[in-house]
Amino acid sequence: MFKTLSGRFLILTIVFVMLAEVLIFVPSVARFREDYLNARLERAQIASLALEAEDMISSDLETELLATAGVFNVVLRRDEVRQLMLASDIPSPITASFDLRDPTAWALIRDAMTRLLDPEDKVIRVIGDPVKEAGLLIEVTLSTVPLRAAMLDYGRRVLVLSLVISLITAGLLFLAVRSLLVQPIRGVVGHMQDYAENPEDARKIITPTASVHELHEAETALQSLQTQLTSALKQKERLAQLGGAVAKVSHDLRNILTSAQLFTDRIEASEDPTVRRLAPKLVKSITRAVNLCETTLAYGRAEEPAPQLEAVALHALIDDVLESEALTVDDSSISFKSEVPTDFEVQADRDQIYRVLSNLTRNARQALQSARRPGEIVISAQEQTNSWHISVQDNGPGLPARAKENLFTAFQGGTTKGGSGLGLAISAELVRGHGGALVLEKSNETGSCFTVELPKS
C-alpha cells in the first residue's frame, strides 16, 4: 500500500494534518491555561463577595468557599487598600507569580509549556482584574497540580480530536485521489500494456477521455505517439516485404545479366560494323545493371560486417580505384588524379574503404558524364591530430536539390537521373562502422566534394 500513489498520499495527509494540529496545540493549551486561571480568579471573587454579604462567616464555610474556588487565599485591592478576604494555610512557599492583566502571547505560551513539563506540586500567585471592575486587582494563590492535570486532560482531548479529523480528512482525500487520479492513471497504464502486446493493431490506440486537464494532455500525447508508431511499424513492414521482393528479383536478375554478359564477348567479335559500334554500349549497360543488382543485394543484408582494421597504404588503394574507373571512360574528357602522398597510411578495413571511395568516384564520374562536359576528379588526403580526412572532389554540375534533401537515404538520394542512391547510403553506413562520418563539404555549380572522416582511435 505504501508503494502506491494513493497510499503515500494517505500517509502524507495524516502527517501534515497532525503537524498542523501540533502547531495549533501549543497556543490552544496556553489559552486553556489562561482561561483556567481566570476562572479561578472569578470564583475567588464570588467567594469574597459572599464574605462581604455575611460580614462574618464560620471557618468551615470559609474553607468550603476556598475549596470551591480552588485556591488557598484571596486578596482584593480596593482604593489602594490591599485586603485579605479569604485565607487558609499554604502548604509551601509561593514559587512564582503570574499577572494576567495584560499578558503577551509569548509569555502565555512559555508559562504553559513550562507548567506542562514540570510535574512537581508548587504554589503560585495569580493576579488579575476583578469582574465588573469590583476593585483594582484580585490575587489568589493555588496549587499547580490541578492546573497541570486539567491542561494534560485538555491536551489529550485535542490530540485525539486531531487524530480523528486527520483520519477522516485523509480517508476522504484518499478516495478522491483514487477516483480522480489513480484510476485514470491505471487506465492509461492498461492502455499502454495492451498496445505493447500488439502495436500494429490500430484498435489498441488510446482515446483521450480523462476529465483532468493534465491527464487529458498525457493521453493526447500518448495517442499521437501510438498513432505515429503504428504507422511507422506498418511502413517498416511494407518496406521489409518490398526489400525482400527486390532482393529476390535482383538476385535472379543478376544471374540473368551475368549470362548476358558472357554473350557480349561473342557479339564484340562480330564483323558487322553496326554490331561492333553498339556492342560496347551494350556491355556498359549490362555492367551497370549488374552493379546495381549487387549493390541492392548488399544493402538488403541485415548489417555490414564489423570493419577489420589494419594499416592501409592509401596511395596504392586509391590508384586501384582510379584505374578501375578510368577503364569505363572511352575518351580523355574525364581525368582522374590522386594527390595522396605515397607514404600515407590509415587504420581502416581495406575492402570497405575501397568500396566507399569507389562509390564516391563513380558518382563523380557519372555526374560529369551526365553533364556532357570534360572534368577532373581529384582524391586527396590530410592527417589531423585525431583523424584522417579523405576527400573526393570533382568540377561537375553539383548535386540536384532532391539529392541534397535526401542525402545518404537509400532509393531517395540518387545523385544522377535514374540513380538509386544506394552508393551513398552504403558508403555512409560503412564509414559509420569505422566510427567516422561521410560529409558533403560543398556542392554547387563549380563541383562537389565529399570527405571521409576516420578517427585515429
Query: What is the distance between the alpha carbons of residues 415 and 408, in angstroms, rounded to a whole number?
Result: 10
Model pLDDT, residue 413: 45
Task: Among 79-83, 104-108, 213-217, name the one with the lowest average pLDDT.
Answer: 79-83
Residue 166 and residue 31 share a domain: yes
Is residue 323, in this structure, part of any structural domain at all? yes
Is residue 91, in this structure, part of any structural domain at all? yes
Query: What is the distance between the alpha carbons of residues 67 and 44, in angstroms, rounded to a whole number?
Result: 10
Residue 440 and residue 320 share a domain: yes
Model pLDDT, residue 8: 74
Is residue 259, in this structure, part of any structural domain at all? yes
Domain span including residue 110 = 5-170
Is residue 184, in this structure, part of any structural domain at all? no
Task: Among 264-268, 416-420, 422-426, name the one with the lowest average pLDDT.
Answer: 416-420
Please compute the mean of the pLDDT values over residues 205-210 and round it to a whole number: 82
Is 60 exceeded by the pLDDT of residue 260? yes
Query: What is the distance between the alpha carbons of residues 324 and 291, in angstroms, rounded to a whole number?
Result: 14
Query: Concatenated DSSP letters for 114-170?
Result: HHHH--S--EEEEEEPPGGG-SSEEEEEEEHHHHHHHHHHHHHHHHHHHHHHHHHHH
Query: What is the distance between the alpha carbons of residues 99 and 111, in angstroms, rounded to a whole number?
Result: 11
Residue 27 and residue 163 share a domain: yes
Q: What cell does 456 get?
A: 585515429
pLDDT tens for each residue of 239-257: 666 666 666 566 556 656 6
Where is mean pLDDT largest: 67-71, 78-82, 107-111, 261-265? 107-111
Residue 331 CB coordination number (10 Å): 6
Is 70 exceeded by the pLDDT of residue 53? no
Residue 48 and residue 157 share a domain: yes
Residue 222 and residue 147 share a domain: no
pLDDT tens for each residue of 359-415: 899 888 888 888 787 889 999 999 999 999 999 999 888 887 777 776 776 655 455
Is residue 204, in this structure, part of any structural domain at all? no
Helix ranges (H only) for 300-449 are: 314-326, 350-371, 401-405, 422-433
pLDDT tens for each residue of 70-102: 888 878 777 666 777 777 888 888 888 888 888
Is residue 178, in this structure, part of any structural domain at all? no
Residue 362 and residue 311 share a domain: yes
Is 60 exceeded by the pLDDT of residue 174? yes
The CATH number of whichever domain residue 372 belongs to comes to 3.30.565.10
Model pLDDT, residue 345: 93
Residue 90 and residue 14 share a domain: yes
Residue with cell 549497360: 285
pLDDT tens for each residue of 158-172: 888 877 887 787 778
Where is mean pLDDT largest: 25-29, 370-374, 385-389, 428-432? 385-389
Q: Give residue 450's pLDDT band: very low, low, confident or very high (50, 70, 90).
A: very high
Q: What cell does 157 get?
A: 482531548
Residue with cell 582494421: 309
Task: Among 6-15, 39-48, 407-416, name the one with the lowest average pLDDT.
Answer: 407-416
Is residue 199, in this structure, part of any structural domain at all? no
Of 266, 295, 324, the residue that ends a domain is 295
> Is pLDDT larger for residue 316 or for residue 275?
316
Model pLDDT, residue 318: 93
Q: How many domains does the chain have?
A: 3
Is residue 200, in this structure, part of any structural domain at all? no
281-314 in b/e form (b: 16+ CB < 10 A) is ebbeebeebbebbebbeebbeeebeebeeeebeb
Q: Give residue 339's pLDDT band: very low, low, confident or very high (50, 70, 90).
A: very high
Residue 284 and residue 350 share a domain: no
Q: What cell does 97 get?
A: 507569580
Please compute the mean of the pLDDT values over residues 27-47 and round it to a whole number: 85
Burial class (CB in 10 A: 0-12, 13-18, 19+), 55: exposed
Task: Among 60-69, 138-147, 322-331, 337-346, name the one with the lowest average pLDDT.
Answer: 60-69
Q: Give residue 418's pLDDT band: very low, low, confident or very high (50, 70, 90).
A: very low
Please compute the mean of the pLDDT values over residues 429-437 and round it to a whole number: 89
Residue 348 and residue 312 share a domain: yes
Bridge partners (DSSP) of residue 337 are: 378
Residue 159 and residue 225 share a domain: no
Residue 398 and residue 345 share a domain: yes
pLDDT tens for each residue of 264-315: 666 666 667 776 676 776 776 667 666 666 666 565 554 556 788 999 999 9
Residue 438 and residue 336 share a domain: yes
